[in-house]
A and B are shown apart, each in its own frame.
Chain A
Amino acid sequence: MEDAPETPDAELVARTQAGDPEAFDVLVVRYSPRLYGLVYHMTSNHEDTNDLLQDVFAKAFRSIKGFQGKSSFYTWMHSIAVNMSINFLKKRGRRHTMSLDDVDAGVQNDPEFIEATTGTDPRHAANLTELQQRLNEAMQKLSHEHKAVVTMFDIQGMPHAEIAKILRVSEGTVRSRLFYAHRQLQNHLEEFIKP
């Protein structure tokens, strides 16, 4: 399926609403990588992410006739993904499964990663796998709502205003959740961060 970046989301949505399923396929291709990241970083499990993301798009397809365009399709899709992920995590409860085997090995050559993990202190020459593991463990200790904010802001680089729209909270709430989440994460990752 060829993505058509020149075709606006609104037009694809209108075509889907008119009964053209191929238009929705373009939207699936366009949004699945980004939404995969969002769901994966909240669940920390690839299998769960795969099933959940299928459900997210299925729900969006069923509900698209009710989409009135008051928000962007981007915001609407992210809202569905975040809400379904949080509901999934509540049902899953304490069963934490991490799939670190799939971590891209290229991360070890990333300049940002090297810069973040090297220093004069021998503690910084840490085992990279351990760092990844600690990173995921730290994320799992956050509440679902804090995890969503950290995922969208720190990992996906979304602005505060966009996150506020997706979560239907104020920007102030987003900022305070981020502040609290960062403090929690710092306690778990302190030994890997340069002083």
Chain B
Amino acid sequence: MPKETDTSKLLRLKRYEQPPSSYFDDFLFEFRRRQRAEMHQRSTREILWDRMMSLAPSFRVPQFAYAAIVALAVTASVFIVTQKPTGGNALASAHSEILQPALSLTSKPVTISDTLPAAARVGGSLSSHYVLQPRPVSNEQPLSF
């Protein structure tokens, strides 16, 4: 097994792998060019954000203020989400009544017998006084004089 120092000697040979010295002059030129291009490409929003960030330290907002704001926002959100509406059922039933149509085209027509007292309809003993024909009201001819 070779000695560790021999490995180190071989590795140190890699320090000679350097580009020509003129490379670093070009490198700085290229760096400046990229910096300028980056500045031109930056959007207005980014520039505005950077300016705000540069002003932020001057406000001297304590660190705990940010935590307090976040905690307040979370508490408010939880309160709103968990809040149950009061009298909600009554409101819902009233709403459904409003939407319910007064008459449906498919429903059974109302007849004179339907207007009789329940006792008369079941027993039939009093029907001769009230009903001549069980015709639907909707089928009766309009009165004419």
Q: Which residues of A contact B (CB under 8 A)?
A: 1, 21, 25, 28-29, 32-33, 36-37, 40-41, 46, 50, 53-54, 57-58, 61, 102-104, 106-107, 110, 112-113, 115-116, 131-132, 135, 139, 150, 154-157, 182, 185-186, 189-190, 192-195
Chain B residues in 8 Å Cβ range of A106: 16
B27 in the interface, Cβ–Cβ < 8 Å?
A: yes
**B4-12, B85-93, B102-110 - interface stretch:** B4-12
B28 engages A50 (CB within 8 Å): no
Using A46-B19, A116-B6, A186-B7 as known contacts, say yes or no to A32 and B27 having CB atoms under 8 A apart. yes
Within 8 Å by CB of A61, from B9, B16, B35, lies: B35
- In the assembled complex, the Cα of A139 lies from the Cα of B15 at a distance in Å of 13
B28 engages A32 (CB within 8 Å): yes
Chain A residues in 8 Å Cβ range of B30: 54
B1 engages A186 (CB within 8 Å): yes
Within 8 Å by CB of B38, from A58, A155, A186, lies: A58
Q: Say how far B19's CB is from chain A's closest CB, in angstroms.
A: 7
B79 in the interface, Cβ–Cβ < 8 Å?
A: no
B27 engages A53 (CB within 8 Å): yes
What are 25 residue pairs bridging A and B, where the CB atoms are less than 8 Å apart in the complex?
A21-B35, A32-B28, A33-B18, A37-B15, A37-B18, A41-B17, A50-B27, A53-B27, A102-B17, A102-B19, A104-B16, A112-B13, A132-B13, A135-B10, A135-B14, A154-B12, A155-B12, A156-B15, A182-B4, A185-B7, A186-B2, A190-B2, A192-B10, A193-B3, A194-B2
A135 engages B27 (CB within 8 Å): no
B121 in the interface, Cβ–Cβ < 8 Å?
A: no
Within 8 Å by CB of A110, from B11, B16, B18, B31, lies: B16
B16 engages A57 (CB within 8 Å): no
Q: Say how far B37's CB is from chain A's closest CB, in angstroms.
A: 11
Q: Say how far A62's CB is from chain B's closest CB, in angstroms.
A: 9
B135 in the interface, Cβ–Cβ < 8 Å?
A: no
Chain B residues in 8 Å Cβ range of A131: 10
B17 engages A40 (CB within 8 Å): yes
B12 engages A194 (CB within 8 Å): no
Which residue of chain B lies nearest to A106 when distances are taken between CB atoms in the complex? Answer: B16
Chain B residues in 8 Å Cβ range of A139: 14
Within 8 Å by CB of A185, from B11, B31, B34, lies: B11
Chain A residues in 8 Å Cβ range of B27: 28, 32, 36, 50, 53-54
B66 in the interface, Cβ–Cβ < 8 Å?
A: no
